[in-house]
Amino acid sequence: MITLENDYLKVSIAAKGAELQGLYSKETEIEYLWNADPEYWAKYSPVLFPIVGSLKNDHFNYKGKTYNLPRHGFARDHVFKAAQISKTEAVFTLTQSEETLKVYPFQFELKLIYRLIDRKLSLTYEVINTGKDELLFSIGAHPAFAVPNTPNTSYEDYYLAFNTDEKLTYWKLDNGLVANETESIDLNGHKLNLKHDLFYNDALVFKTLQSSCISLLNTKNDYGLHFHFEDFPFFGIWAATDAPFVCLEPWCGVADGVNHNQELKQKEGIISLAPNKNWERFWEVECF
| pLDDT (tens digit per residue) in 1-57 | 999 999 999 999 999 999 999 999 999 999 999 999 999 999 999 999 999 999 999
Residue ranges per structural domain of the chain = 2-287
Confidence of residue 267 (pLDDT cuts 50, 70, 90): very high
CB-CB contact of 234 with 52 (8 Å): yes
Phi and psi at residue 149, to the nearest 5°: -120, 0
Mean pLDDT of the 99-128 span: 98
Amino acid 110: pLDDT: 98
Mean pLDDT of the 257-278 span: 97
Domain covering 2-287 in this structure, CATH number: 2.70.98.10
Using CA atoms, how far apart are residues 63 and 55, in angstroms rounded to an integer? Answer: 17
pTM to 2 decimal places: 0.95
Compute the mean pLDDT over every residue in the chain, rounded to the nearest whole number: 97
Amino acid 167: pLDDT: 96
Using CA atoms, how far apart are residues 284 and 161, in angstroms rounded to an integer? Answer: 16
Confidence of residue 68 (pLDDT cuts 50, 70, 90): very high
Amino acid 17: pLDDT: 98
Amino acid 11: pLDDT: 98
The CA-based diameter of the chain, rounded to the nearest angstrom, is 57
